[in-house]
Amino acid sequence: MAWLTDPLQAEFMQRALLEVALLAVPAGLLGTWIVLRRLAFFTHAAGSATFPGLVVAGPWGIPAQLAAFGAGLVYAGGLSALVRRARVAPDAATGLLLVGALAGGTILASDVYEAGAGVDRLLFGTLLGLDDADLAVSAVVAAVALAATAVLGRAWLATGFDPGGARPLGVRAGAGDAALLLVIALAVVAVLPAVGALLVGTLLVVPAATARLLGRSVREIQLLAVALALAEGAGGLLLAYHLDLPPGPAVAVLAGGAFAVAAVARR
């Protein structure tokens, strides 16, 4: 029991565990829609697209969350322009913007602002170095995820499984999809301080993908995904504490292992 309880004596571990609990809500609720609507690549790219914004946030004196959200909006606007105006395939457009964001952020971090070792924190986050602002953003996003799922869940379900039949039912597919992408962008901003720009899918995709292998309904998948995100986050924290590992990658490895076990068990 000491192996479990001793780390919780440290204040930074208590804050990290609270952050994991808060992020488990959008990870489970929104992650389910991300997986069912096949938005995993979009979500990963949205996280990576915030990298340039995070690099310039400090030197420009801008809050990191605001800079990340601004970069995410630029990414979404660029994606829409490429798909609708240039008629580039959505996956190709996403890949182009993903590469451009990572390349631009790397140049800014290495040659313009000399971020140095701080790049690791931007790319992989740090659950052990969170502040009150990070917790506040996560709490707000958790509440938004709950409210959005309660209000728009049926619209997202109808649009995702029967786009042609959604309009006769009175579902505004365009508005619902735009709201879903906006809420996902907010969730990405909340997840960034914990796991970084490259590991957003650790919380927003992998737990829901694992839950989809086990759940039989949308509600079951959501509940399982919340529980998995919480368990994997707490387990990754303990592994990082005892084995002196970076917490973000530790959570990612644990989540990947859980998915592999679930996939084998299902087969």
Q: How confident is the model at residue 27 (pLDDT cuts 50, 70, 90)?
A: very high
Alpha-carbon distance 19 to 127, whole Å? Answer: 8
pTM: 0.85
Q: What is the DSSP letter of 85?
A: T
- Alpha-carbon distance 39 to 37, whole Å? 6
**Would you say 90 and 83 are in contact if contact means Cβ atoms under 8 Å apart?**
yes
Which is more confidently placed, 69 or 261? Answer: 261
Give the mean pLDDT of 13-39. Answer: 93
Q: Say if CB 31 and CB 210 are below 8 A apart.
A: no
Alpha carbon distance 32, 26 (integer Å): 9
- Would you tell me the crossing angle of helices 173-195 and 247-266 to the nearest 10 degrees? 120
H helices present in the chain, as ranges: 2-5, 11-36, 40-49, 51-60, 64-84, 90-107, 118-124, 132-161, 163-166, 173-195, 201-204, 206-214, 218-243, 247-266
Domains of the chain: 2-266 (1.10.3470.10)
Tell me the mean pLDDT in the region 229-239. Answer: 93
Cβ density class 97-111: b for 16+ within 10 Å, e for less:
bbeebbeebbebbee
pLDDT attached to residue 112 = 64
Confidence of residue 114 (pLDDT cuts 50, 70, 90): low
Task: Give the mean pLDDT of 120-134.
Answer: 80
Q: What tens digit of pLDDT does each residue of 174-220 get? A: 677 788 888 998 999 899 888 888 889 899 999 999 999 999 899 99
Tell me the average pLDDT of the chain.
84
- Percentage of the chain beyond pLDDT 90 is 34
pLDDT score of 254 = 94
Which residues, other chains included, contact 191 with Cβ-Cβ below 8 Å and sequence gap of 6+? 23, 26, 27, 47, 200, 203, 204
pLDDT for 117 beyond 50: no
Per-residue pLDDT for 248 more than 60? yes
pLDDT at 96: 86
